[in-house]
Amino acid sequence: MAATSGIRWGRKEDERWAAAFTLRLVTEFRPPKGLVDQVLSEVHETVAETGRPAKDLFGEPGAYAACVAADRIDETHTSGRNLQGATPGEQFTDALVMAGLGALVLFAMRWIRDGIWTQVSPASLAGTVLLAACVLAGCLTVALRTAGRVRAAWVCASAAVVMVVAGIAALSALPHAGLFTLPAPVPVALSAAVMASAHRLPDATADRWFARRRSQDSAQWMRRLDGQLRGPHGTPAHQAREHVAEVRSHLASAPDSTAQDEFGDVEAYAAGLAGGPRRTRRALRRKAHAAVIFAAVVAVANLDALRSAEVTSLWFWSGALAVSLALGYAAVQYRNSRHQR
């Protein structure tokens, strides 16, 4: 019998349950090291003692993973991490890896379609440069939001939108006549280099790029609390303001104390406030929103191909498939979030 996390299960259905539980817990909640093995050992022991299937004892694997995350992943682990358990550096490097992979696929498809040499026009050159800048701004946006720097994240997101508009304008206004020819493997190699470099970049190094300088100032502490609640933890703005108002009211009654003295580390305090059963719901909603944004970006990037609706075009079907899958994923995540209490 195949093993799951080093455990041999007596029944295939228990093995499938353990695999589904592990997948849900790891991909959605990013638990501390060793928690998966610990929980599966407990489940295996109970299954062996009772002789009953894991599903009968612990319920659906996805639901049990959510319960384990709520009960055993505390603010010590979630502080400084977003709803998916990622740090700012992890978000940035992961986003760059995905961007490099996407660019590699697109340039490889163009290589297959156009051959070894590709014509570069002023329009395509400007559009590519602006799209690359837009993608970088998007990577910075998710990292800054995870770091709790909400205003800076909005600035980067706005810059990304401006670059998209500028790219569309460049494609429409600039000449499409060939400026020079470029070997198709060159952009493919550059995309692979971006992906490999981002993968090799230590997350801790990237984390330091987005970290804020520590301060004993209570006003700054409260601004960071607001950013931590609204950014990585996805708390609605009005609830974040209420929590900040409670801290301010408490400090007003103890003028000789600072927020750091009274409430401790701001990231741990924010994680404690944002925890609870609604955390999973916010995580699912954020995934749905991200999928919708991805679908919109793909639709804009493939606007001409989608608008032409040429059924023989590889670009049309790849764009249509990507948009459909993203919207379908968003619908599933939103539906699941409605079942969370």
Q: Tell me: the pLDDT tens digits for 116-141?
A: 888 888 888 998 899 899 999 999 99
On the 0-12 / 13-18 / 19+ scale of CB atoms within 10 A, 99 is: buried
Q: How confident is the model at residue 212 (pLDDT cuts 50, 70, 90)?
A: confident
Residue-level pLDDT at 193: 95
Average pLDDT over residues 152-163: 94
- The per-residue pLDDT for 236 is 87
State the Cα–Cα distance between residues 70 and 214, nearest whole angstrom: 29
Quickly count: other Cβ atoms within 10 Å of residue 302's Cβ. Answer: 19
Residue 2 has pLDDT above 50, yes or no: no
| Beta-carbon count within 10 A of 281 CB | 19
CA–CA separation, 143 and 91 (whole Å)? 5
3-state secondary structure of 253: coil
In the predicted structure, residue 291 carries a pLDDT above the cut 50: yes
Q: Is the per-residue pLDDT at 155 higher than 50?
A: yes
Helical H segments across the chain, by residue range: 12-29, 35-50, 54-58, 61-72, 75-78, 88-114, 122-146, 150-173, 185-200, 203-210, 218-230, 237-252, 259-263, 266-274, 278-301, 303-308, 314-338
- Among 15-29, 67-81, 219-233, top mean pLDDT goes to 219-233
What pTM did the predictor assign? 0.72
